[in-house]
């Protein structure tokens, strides 16, 4: 048993090491956030672009375009068209979309700043052949022809050095496509400092090579486990990994070009499609092996049959095969949801390792959606699915290894089962005897411990109140943490203002009670608990809200109150400290003149707790820095509060605030936010 546990732990460490190494290499490259220039009417102006500081630039935008003409056919009198980067299918010649098949010439003039830097260009991806003309010479990626038989299709992203010390460069690209349903420039060229560009490419290839090695390792490792102990899940998982290793070699950076730089585009595409079909089939077999009751054989056979039927499409002309692939990708997306549904069903039924499988597949699903979207929209093969697969294989490796270890452990346990059962029964009788003796002693001490127990439970109730507020407050902070010590400051503001008003004739019945003030202090942090229910894209928006967004934001008051009411219902009783929390959460956005929300209450109809919280919250919002504004000085905040007297705030509360404004200022400075 110890040997098998050691095998499982050692394998887990290897899997985790590969996953972490791949993750950090993939995340090591960062791009500049500066907006990139765009080509306009065949010219891109890079005179203000500093490659040293600003990084690489992608030659996106409008390129000059001559349909059904190569460079030698273009005359000075010919009028150029303009086409955006991406497939040329939607470009209209004489009022008609040109489609994906044909040939043409792209042209772009690049204006550069005077510099001694050595620049280089990555050619981008051209479907499915290109001849690139630069001042430094001509470079072929395949051979573009005017007809299918004259065209040699190759899809490769090369690096070309640019001429030094010039202020402008003209790029001319002849391209032809007769082998894919989308043609033209699928990925725009990129310009950067030559050394850095080559370093980036080397890093990307290293990362893709690590993916390839990791997938092969997982596949061969689990195939070896299958040979040790025959297990269908282990075998299909091994096949799944090996197929994805092959697919990784021909997508993304296409490391296969390191060994076969002139490999035909058609071979790569057909090989990629075949890997895709067989991978989905392997996943269906794996899913049935892991969860046969949740994923029945009948459904498995339908999925596998569909995949095998699509394998026959590789005999079609490649341009038809590339178009037919869309009919496979849509059911593949549906199968992703089937995987998730099966995994969820297995989790609900408490199937072993089902939670790990679900977690891993959700990571893979994100990669599948990104990969499918790029393929459908831009006909690009991307490594997104490989990135997701790292997480999926890591999780499934744990699943398979755990199944393997459990099977071996079960086999060993059966050999000692009878002896262990006798020993357990003996120990059980001994423990029962000891338990009877212990319970006898406990009964003797019960009377003396009751009083201590009551005291302890009382302290626990108080602690539960504190923990409840702290937990709910922490939940709100995790959604909206830009305000730093906002919650602590508003607590102290509310208590200071309540203490000032406790002798006031209008408020003494409510505030001249230490318990009420203490409950206000404890409940104040829950004033924005409803923001937990606001979507991230609204809650975390750095600028002003639109009207629709503001209407959604206004619902946080009702959401907060309803959440607390729901908690009370679950408890089956109403708690005093939560009653204040409900008032504060629901009424802290009401205004004295009735223009607030959510109810539009006015004057004394607004709960005292809500009026106190409104003033404290507004003051802190004025003095604090947010992502969309700078904080105001204390004096300016006091002036704004005074202007809201009788409109936004209770007049008597504003008068009390003016008397203790310096105390507010001291609290704000003592608990001032810090920013890195």
Q: pLDDT tens, 123-163? A: 999 988 999 999 989 999 999 999 999 999 998 889 999 98
pLDDT exceeds cutoff 60 at 460:
no
Over residues 64-84, the pLDDT tens digits come to 999 999 999 999 888 889 999
Interatomic CA distance for residues 525 and 11, integer angstroms: 47
pLDDT exceeds cutoff 60 at 522:
yes
pLDDT band at 26 (very low <50, low <70, confident <90, very high): very low
Interatomic CA distance for residues 144 and 162, integer angstroms: 22
Question: What is the separation of C-alpha 575 from the centre of its chain, rounded to a whole number of angstroms?
Answer: 39
Peptide bond into 128 cis (omega under 30): yes
Interatomic CA distance for residues 183 and 449, integer angstroms: 84
Least trusted range by pLDDT, from 43-57, 379-393, 500-514, 636-650: 379-393
Interatomic CA distance for residues 159 and 189, integer angstroms: 10
What stretches of 291-325 show up as alpha helix (H) in DSSP? Answer: 297-311, 318-324
Least trusted range by pLDDT, from 300-309, 334-343, 622-631: 622-631
Higher pLDDT, 47 or 352: 47
Interatomic CA distance for residues 564 and 581, integer angstroms: 8
Interatomic CA distance for residues 375 and 273, integer angstroms: 12
pLDDT at 461: 53
pLDDT exceeds cutoff 80 at 467:
no
Percent of residues, the chain, with pLDDT higher than 70: 82
pLDDT exceeds cutoff 80 at 322:
yes
CA distances from 568 to 89, 473, 531 (A): 61, 17, 19
pLDDT at 27: 44
Of 110, 108, 109, 101, give the one whose Cα is nearest residue 83.
108
Least trusted range by pLDDT, from 114-128, 335-349, 397-411, 562-576: 397-411
Interatomic CA distance for residues 172 and 133, integer angstroms: 5
CB < 8 Å & 24+ apart, contacts of 605-612: 606/650, 607/583, 608/507, 608/510, 608/511, 609/520, 609/523, 609/580, 609/583, 609/584, 610/583, 610/584, 610/586, 611/587, 611/649, 611/650, 611/653, 612/494, 612/497, 612/498, 612/520, 612/653
Q: Return the CA Rg of the chain.
A: 34
Q: What is the mean pLDDT of the chain?
A: 82
SS3 content of the chain, % helix, strand, coil (to 5): 60, 10, 25
Q: What SS3 class is residue 75? A: coil
Across the range 635-657, mean pLDDT stands at 93
pLDDT at 450: 61
Tell me the angle at which helices 417-479 and 384-415 cross, rounded to the nearest 10 degrees. 150
Interatomic CA distance for residues 641 and 611, integer angstroms: 13
Cβ burial, residue 501 (10 Å; 0-12/13-18/19+): buried
Q: Count of alpha carbons within 13 Å of 501, Cβ hemisphere only?
A: 26
Percent of residues, the chain, with pLDDT higher than 90: 33
Across the range 9-13, mean pLDDT stands at 47
Higher pLDDT, 336 or 285: 285
| Residue at token pair 């205004």 | 591
Task: Tell whether pTM > 0.75.
Answer: no
pLDDT band at 193 (very low <50, low <70, confident <90, very high): very high
pLDDT exceeds cutoff 60 at 346:
yes
Q: Taking the CB of residue 448, how many other CB atoms lie within 10 A of it?
A: 8
Higher pLDDT, 534 or 308: 308
pLDDT exceeds cutoff 50 at 29:
no
pLDDT exceeds cutoff 60 at 14:
no
pLDDT band at 523 (very low <50, low <70, confident <90, very high): confident
Tell me the angle at which helices 634-643 and 608-623 cross, rounded to the nearest 10 degrees. 140
pLDDT exceeds cutoff 60 at 459:
no
pLDDT at 368: 66
Interatomic CA distance for residues 93 and 527, integer angstroms: 62
Across the range 325-332, mean pLDDT stands at 84
pLDDT at 501: 92
Eight-state DSSP code of residue 102: E
Q: What are phi and psi of 126, to 5 degrees?
A: -120, 125
pLDDT at 25: 43
Interatomic CA distance for residues 163 and 356, integer angstroms: 54
Q: What are phi and psi of 159, to 5 degrees?
A: -115, 130
DSSP string, 422-477: HHHHHHHHHHHHHHHHHHHHHHHHHHHHHHHHHHHHHHHHHHHHHHHHHHHHHHHH
Least trusted range by pLDDT, from 104-113, 243-252, 341-350, 629-638: 243-252
In this structure, are strands 102-112 and 43-46 parallel, antiparallel, or unpaired? parallel
pLDDT exceeds cutoff 50 at 33:
yes
pLDDT at 445: 64
Interatomic CA distance for residues 270 and 275, integer angstroms: 9
Least trusted range by pLDDT, from 88-102, 247-261, 449-463: 449-463
Across the range 341-349, mean pLDDT stands at 89
pLDDT exceeds cutoff 60 at 355:
yes
Q: Count of alpha carbons within 13 Å of 579, Cβ hemisphere only?
A: 7
Query: Where would I find the beta strands (DSSP E) of 95-209?
Result: 96-97, 102-112, 119-122, 125-127, 130-134, 137-141, 159-161, 168-177, 184-187, 190-193
Across the range 275-285, mean pLDDT stands at 91
Structure tokens at 517: 């003030």
Interatomic CA distance for residues 444 and 447, integer angstroms: 7
pLDDT at 365: 72
Across the range 630-655, mean pLDDT stands at 92
Of 398, 393, 390, 356, give the one whose Cα is nearest residue 26.
390
Over residues 543-552, the pLDDT tens digits come to 778 888 888 8
Contact 355, 372 (CB under 8 A): no
pLDDT band at 208 (very low <50, low <70, confident <90, very high): confident
């Amino acid at each position: 048993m110890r040997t098998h546990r050691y095998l499982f732990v050692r394998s887990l460490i290897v899997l985790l090491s590969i996953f972490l190494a791949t993750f950090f290499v993939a995340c090591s490259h960062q791009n500049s956030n500066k907006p990139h220039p765009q080509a306009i009417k065949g010219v891109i102006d890079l005179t203000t672009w500093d490659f040293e500081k600003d990084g690489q630039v992608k030659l996106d935008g409008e390129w000059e375009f001559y349909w059904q003409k190569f460079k030698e056919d273009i005359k000075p009198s010919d009028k150029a068209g303009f086409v955006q980067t991406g497939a040329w299918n939607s470009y209209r010649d004489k009022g008609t979309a040109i489609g994906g098949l044909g040939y043409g010439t792209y042209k772009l003039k690049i204006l550069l700043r005077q510099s001694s830097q050595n620049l280089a260009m990555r050619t981008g991806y051209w479907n499915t052949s290109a001849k690139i003309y630069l001042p430094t010479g001509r470079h072929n990626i395949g051979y573009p022809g005017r007809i299918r038989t004259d065209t040699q299709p190759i899809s490769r992203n090369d690096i070309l050095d640019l001429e030094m010390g010039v202020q402008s460069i003209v790029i001319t690209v002849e391209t032809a496509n007769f082998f894919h349903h989308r043609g033209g420039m699928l990925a725009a060229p990129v310009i950067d400092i030559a050394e850095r560009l080559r370093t980036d490419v080397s890093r990307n290839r290293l990362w893709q090579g690590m993916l390839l090695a990791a997938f092969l390792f997982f596949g061969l490792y689990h195939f070896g486990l299958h040979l040790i102990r025959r297990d269908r899940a282990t075998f299909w998982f091994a096949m799944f990994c090996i197929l994805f290793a092959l697919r990784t070699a021909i997508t993304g950076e296409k490391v296969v070009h390191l060994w076969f730089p002139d490999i035909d585009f058609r071979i790569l595409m057909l090989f990629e499609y075949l890997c895709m079909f067989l991978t989905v089939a392997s996943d269906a077999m794996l899913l049935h092996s892991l969860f046969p009751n949740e994923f029945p054989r009948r459904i498995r056979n339908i999925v596998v049959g569909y995949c095998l039927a699509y394998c026959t499409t590789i005999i079609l002309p490649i341009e038809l095969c590339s178009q037919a692939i869309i009919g496979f990708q849509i059911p593949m997306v549906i199968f992703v949801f089937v995987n998730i549904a099966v995994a969820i069903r297995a989790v609900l039924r408490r199937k072993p390792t089902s939670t790990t499988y679900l977690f891993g597949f959700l990571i893979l699903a994100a990669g599948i959606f990104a990969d499918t979207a790029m393929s459908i929209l831009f006909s690009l093969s991307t490594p997104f699915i490989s990135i997701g697969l790292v997480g999926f294989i890591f999780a499934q490796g744990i699943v398979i290894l755990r199944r393997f270890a459990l099977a071996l452990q079960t086999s060993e346990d059966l050999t000692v089962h009878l002896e262990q059962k006798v020993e357990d029964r003996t120990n059980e009788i001994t423990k029962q005897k000891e338990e009877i003796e212990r319970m006898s002693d406990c009964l003797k001490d019960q009377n003396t411990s009751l009083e201590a127990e009551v005291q302890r439970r009382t302290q626990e109730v108080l602690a539960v109140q504190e923990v409840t507020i702290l937990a709910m407050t922490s939940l709100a902070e995790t959604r909206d943490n830009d305000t730093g010590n906002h919650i602590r400051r508003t607590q102290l503001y509310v208590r200071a203002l309540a203490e000032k008003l406790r002798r006031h004739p209008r408020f003494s019945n409510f505030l001249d009670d230490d318990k009420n003030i203490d409950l206000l202090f404890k409940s104040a942090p829950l004033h924005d608990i409803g923001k937990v229910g606001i979507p991230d894209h609204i809650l975390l928006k750095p600028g002003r809200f639109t009207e629709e967004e503001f209407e959604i934001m206004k619902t946080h008051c009702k959401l907060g109150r309803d959440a607390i009411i729901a908690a009370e219902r679950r408890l089956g009783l109403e708690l005093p400290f939560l009653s204040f929390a409900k008032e504060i959460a629901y009424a802290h956005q009401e205004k004295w003149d009735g223009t607030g929300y959510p109810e539009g209450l006015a004057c004394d109809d607004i709960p005292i707790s809500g009026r106190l919280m409104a003033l404290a919250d507004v003051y802190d919002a004025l003095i604090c820095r947010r992502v969309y504004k700078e904080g105001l000085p204390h004096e300016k905040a006091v002036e704004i509060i005074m202007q809201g007297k009788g409109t936004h705030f209770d007049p008597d509360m504003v008068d009390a605030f003016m008397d203790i404004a310096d105390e507010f200022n001291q609290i704000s400075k003592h608990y001032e936010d810090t920013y890195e």
